[in-house]
Amino acid sequence: MEQNNPKMPITARGLRLLLVGLIVMISGYILMTGGGSDDPQVFNYAMFDFRRMVAAPIVIILGIVIEVVSIMKIFKN
C-alpha cells in the first residue's frame, strides 16, 4: 500500500550531493577545453593529451555516478 508522504523525497544532504556532482561534471568539461590550433592548416597534437582524453572523461563519469547516487540513495535523518 502506498502512503502519501508530504515530505520532499530528496533531503538537504541529497541536494548538496547533487550540487557536488554538478560541480564535478562541470570541472570535467573545463578539463576538456583547449588544445586547438590558431592556424587551421597546422595540426596540433595537444588535443590528444592525457588530460583531455583520459582524465576529463573519468571526472565527468564520476560526476554522473555522484548524481545517480544522490538521486537513488535514501538518506536517513
Alpha carbons 27 and 24: distance in angstroms, whole number: 5
Its pTM stands at 0.79
Cell readout for 15 is 541536494
The full 3-state SS of 20-35, as one line of letters, equals HHHHHHHHHHHHHCCC
pLDDT digits (tens, 9 = 90+) for 8-67: 677 888 899 999 999 999 999 999 987 777 777 888 787 888 999 999 999 999 999 999
The domain segmentation of the chain, as residue ranges, is 12-72
